[in-house]
Structure 1
Amino acid sequence: MNFCKLKLIFYMVAIAYLAMSCNTKVQEAEDEKPPNILFIMSDDHAYQAISAYGHGLNETPNIDRIANEGAIFTRATVTNSICAPSRAVLLTGKHSFINGKVDNVQPFDWNQDNFPKLLQANGYQTALIGKIHLDGLPQGFDYSMVLPGQGNYYNPDFLVDGKRTRFEGYVTDITTIEALKWLKSGRDQDKPFALMYHQKAPHRNWKPAEEYLTLYDDKDFTPPANYFDQETNYAGRGTAAKTQEMEIDGHARWGHDFKMEVDPYGDSTGFANELKRFNPEQLAKWKAAYDPKNEAFKKAFGQGDESTFSAEKKREIAHWKFNRYIKDYLRTIKSVDDGVGEVLDYLEANGLAENTIVVYTSDQGFYLGEHGWFDKRFMYEQSFRTPLLVRYPKEIKPGTKIDKLVQNLDFAPTFLDYAGVATPKEMQGESFRKLVSGESGEWRDAVYYTYYEYPSVHMVKRHYGVATDRYKLMHFYYDIDEWEMYDLKEDPSEMNNVYDDPEYAEVRTMMHERLVELREKYGDSDENDKKYLDAYLEARKK
């Protein structure tokens, strides 16, 4: 080998060594910081629609990475299953009746403490990008780019530090692009960061991205076993289940939900107005995907008076409605999963994965045809439970499974704990840091729930309740006074109210005692119920 070649090899080895040494120093510097926090929240994402939970509906490989490389929570729950109140709870670490945001109508007080404010005051750089569904300029963030209200799937407006700006494209993709942009160039890289990366999807009305408009067209989904629950008028349940307005076959709309511009009876649905937001290219792709499917349905089932249809034909139509709903719902989740993958890849490519706590969750659960329903609101299991996956390589072993009753109430104290910031006494949640690391198995054995937004859309009656690992007790009030209790071990689908069953008399007594304890612990009362009812009814008059 000649001298020139030896010299070249020496230089190449030296450069490689310097690069490796430099990368090592960058990694060491990153690891010396307090942990970064990446809080990913989607809207109405049912745990049943995350493949890590094993329900077999769809594949979410990127979200599953968080579970595989960290922890999956099987009994994570919410304190109030509706969008804005859930988000207020996660920010403040306080129940709805304490932070004041009990429903989607009452204003939210941004002046109260929240965990991003406390992180900010302790050296973190903070950002909120996506959906928050709380009026007013977000406080606690160095940068905010949020959807006004529910926002739009196509060509959405965002409030960028309070200034309204229209973005061309699909909302899920835009939210991901802007989150990555902030991570790459919008933050001070010498500071730890806390990024709240919040997707609109899969919130109603489930408009998929252009590339997924025909995903699942070749698949027929089987509805849940109790999809036709309304045929028995919800036997075994009380008034609340019977009088809700969230049935896929009955309350979902031909236009807004099933994407028809003209319904099977030849009437305009108004959905064409929603399509006006699309640009010509988007609209052409949308119509190419949906028009043939809609016409095929009309040809197969025809028009006429539904009351004259046979039971078999009614069931076939209900089955079609379920498939239109679930396919659109899952299509929007595909884009969410893509975005999660892009952000996780960025963390890994830039030496941030080891020192970043990554959380994936939803603002609550959702019904995917169970009991024949869509939406949430009830304390019944599918809306009460929410997905929760957490990765932090420094403390959480891959494949960890947690079956304790963690709530969205616990996010704020947990993030503050990881950051080394004292938790204010008024926060009512608990840090689950030691629980998920395996350092401690001690945890609460019961959780408390409230729901206030009635009378309103979907007509789910006001109720509060307590749940343990096995039992659930609920009180429906205001215009009724009914109690329901379920044994989740014997009846996981909550089909049989055992409140008046003599065999459960001791359990009922115990659950009432637990309910009283938790109402006292968290500061709830009948006076709170009346106060927020009066405020809600007064707001509706306006």
Structure 2
Amino acid sequence: MKKILVLLLLCIHTIAFAQHKQPNIIFILSDDHAYQAIGAYGNKLISTPNIDRLAKSGALFNNAIVSNAICGPSRAAFITGQYSHKNGYKVNDGVLDTNQRFLPEILSQNGYQTAWIGKWHLGSLPKGFDYWNVMPVQGHYFNPDFINQKNDTLLYHGYVTEVITELTKKYLKDRNPDKPFFLVVGEKATHREWLPDLQDLGAYDSVKFPLPATFYDDYKGRTAAAKQLMSVGDVLTLKTDLKINQPFGEKQKVNNQPAKPAVKGKEIEESMMRYYQQGEYARMDSVQSKAYRNYYGQLAKEFAQLNLTGNALKEWKFQRYMKDYYATAKSLDRNIGEILDYLDKNGLSENTIVIYASDQGFYLGEHGWFDKRFIYEESLRTPFIIRMPQLPALKDKKINQIISNVDWAPTILDFSGIAKPDFMQGKSFLPVLKNPQIKNWSKDGAYYHYYEYPGPHYVSPHFGIRTDDYVLVRFYKGTEAWELYDLKKDPSELNNIINDKHYSTIKTELKKKLNKLIVAYDDQEALKVFNQALQVN
């Protein structure tokens, strides 16, 4: 009888939700913004009042993960609802095949107006959106170029996060008010090389950030982790990344005029890649470059006087990395507040779902690293916060079920009463939002596959399964090895227990689950590696 009542209540709730008119949806997608860099996720040393504000009025996911922890492939998984091996975008310098169906096309066919503004980073130009205005390649922090749907390349004066916000507000003002909209706001922050807005220079200079407990990880029993090239102490560069003795050369005055004769399609990407390689700092105008020269020039003098070596140098680089990273995130948070305020002031908040997420997690010194790529927690997990006026009971909720970025597109369709197409491999987590206590949602675990090798950081390709309690991973190319972690006993993933006899039953069960996911998602490359590995191990 109790089960019948629960099902009846869920049905009533579903009918009530469906009776709302189709909601507007804004998806704010940042770049490399770590969940542990957000106040709502427990960071007490920094300030993210507007992301925290979103979390207090909505739901925060503690176990939102990605299917391939690298920028472009993560975006491709988002708009296709497919894993990398199906949508074809496996590595960061690829070109997304636009002959396949994307989320915005399906929404457009069902009454939505769709738009993407800001960072795109998928090689080809956007398809399926009614409106788009995106940055070529990685985009720039200062005076960025944008390509619009007319294939015009325009240079906008200012700091990138503020430019994106102004373009976002203009789109919201000019859109058709009689149709629902789906808008992706693609932020550049907090991507390397972490250039703060002028008003945020030195924002965290008074804070001494504690070294992560794993900063001096020795990688014992973890060959792939030992081979990587993403160490804060050894890989981050003083001049480019940390801006010590960087000249910050001036550039001619900029304005909102075409930066060069417009070119079409792939030519745009190639020409802008050449332009990007000329250097981020050369884009600054005289005011911007002067502010940077003054601030980082003083730091360079102080650094020279210290004459650091060894661990002291590594720890100094860590402090500078943190201060620049968090200072860059200040503008991101401030501009999220600008967008939320615009919705409030213009009567849009009541029927607009707002989502904040990053394209993957990021290392903030854990294991001694920056960057992402690994299946390990800090890069696998991404912040994911959603405010749904249609579900007021979600206010200030923490949700622990595992969701993946391949689930984002099916869920967005479900919000609008649109059936998921067969090609999408993810599943809607709207049932979790309606009932955060739902049982066995992630009992089969979530699938992960990273491909890029050698790449800039020499992270071996690997695939694996993440459950509520364990991570099982198979590395191949570069490193050939299995790894297993007990997340409850070893949340920092320092102890590879793959050969621990006490976990032999769990290892067997997880391998069966992993094989089941590989077959279900038709990952032929992983299946071949998996079968070969079983013969050896």
TM-score normalised by L of structure 1: 0.86
One-letter amino acid of the structure 2 residue matched with residue 296 of structure 1: E
User: Equivalent residue for 2:16?
Assistant: none
> 2 CA distance for matches of 1:529 and 1:333?
41
Counterparts in 2 of 1:194-205, with a 5 A limit?
A: 194-205=182-193
- For 2:368 and 2:425, the matched residues in 1 are separated by 35
- Residue aligned with 2:403, SS: coil
Change (3 A) 1:465 1:177: same
Provide the secondary structure at the position in 2 that maps to 1:129: strand
Q: How much has 1:528 moved relative to structure 2? A: 7.5
- Of 239, 263, 287, the residue aligned with 1:281 is 287
Q: What is the aligned residue count?
A: 478
Aligned ranges 1:31-70 → 2 under 5 Å:
33-70=21-58
Q: 8 Å contact 1:400–1:436 — kept in the other structure?
A: no
Query: Does 1:248 pair with 2:244?
Result: no
Asked if residue 426 in structure 1 is aligned to residue 423 in structure 2, the reply is yes
Counterparts in 2 of 1:108 and 1:39: CA distance versus 1, 3 Å = same
Alpha carbons of structure 1 residues 440 and 297: separation in structure 2 relative to 1, 3 Å: closer
The CA deviation string for residues 325-354 of structure 1, in whole angstroms up to 9 with x for no partner, is: 011111111101011101111111122111
Distance 2:468 2:291 in 1: 47
- SS of the counterpart of 2:314? helix
Aligned to 1:83: 71
**C-alpha contact 2:82 2:425 (8 A) present in aligned 1:** yes
**Distance apart, 1:274 and its partner CA:** 3.9
Do the aligned residues in 1 keep the contact of 2:61 with 2:384 (CA within 8 Å)?
Answer: yes
Would you say 1:157 and 2:153 are equivalent positions?
Answer: no
* Corresponding residue for residue 444 of structure 1: 442
Stretches of structure 1 lacking an aligned partner (at least 5 in a row): 1-30, 264-270, 307-313, 531-542
| Contact 1:172–1:200 (Cα < 8 Å) also in 2 | yes
Identity over aligned pairs, percent:
46
- Closer, same or farther in 2 for the Cα pair 1:253/1:386, shift >3 Å? same
Partner residue of 1:178?
Answer: 167
Letter paired with 1:289: Y
- The answer to whether the Cα contact below 8 Å between 1:86 and 1:363 also exists between their aligned partners in 2 is yes
**Distance in 2 of aligned mates of 1:423 and 1:274:** 41
The residue aligned with 2:104 is 116
What are the superposed Cα offsets for residues 83-140 of structure 1, whole Å, 9 maximum, x if unpaired? 0000000000010001110111332112211111111111111110011101222112
Q: Whole-Å Cα distance in 1 between the matches of residues 528 and 507 of structure 2?
A: 23
Q: 1:122 to 1:249 in 2, by over 3 A?
A: same
Q: Could you report, residue by residue, the CA deviation over 1:338-392 in whole angstroms, capped at 9, with x for unpaired residues?
A: 1110111111112211111110000000000000000000000000000000001
| Aligned residues of 1:434 and 1:440 also touching (Cα < 8 A) | no
CA-CA distance at 1:81 after TM superposition: 0.2
**What amino acid does structure 1 have at the position aligned with 2:316?**
W
Q: Supply the distance in 2 between the matched residues of 1:168 and 1:152 (Cα, whole angstroms).
A: 11
Displacement after TM superposition at 1:55 (Å) = 2.7
1:71–1:396: 8 Å Cα contact kept in structure 2? no
Checking the alignment, whether the CA contact within 8 Å between 2:408 and 2:426 is kept in structure 1 is yes
Q: Which residue, 134, 158, 163 being the options, matches 1:169?
A: 158
Query: 1:396, 1:436 within 8 Å by CA — same for their partners in 2?
Result: no
Tell me the secondary structure at the aligned position of residue 65 of structure 2: coil
TM (norm. structure 2) is 0.86
Name the CA distance, whole Å, in 2 between partners of 1:350 and 1:75: 33
Matches within 5 A, 1:355-366: 355-366=351-362
Residue 64 (structure 1) shift? 1.0
C-alpha distance in 2, partners of 1:175/1:506?
A: 51
Q: For residues 292 and 89 of structure 2, what CA distance do their matches in structure 1 show?
A: 37
- Whether contact under 8 Å (2:518, 2:526) holds in the other structure is no
Task: Please identify the structure whose Cα radius of gyration is greater.
Answer: 1
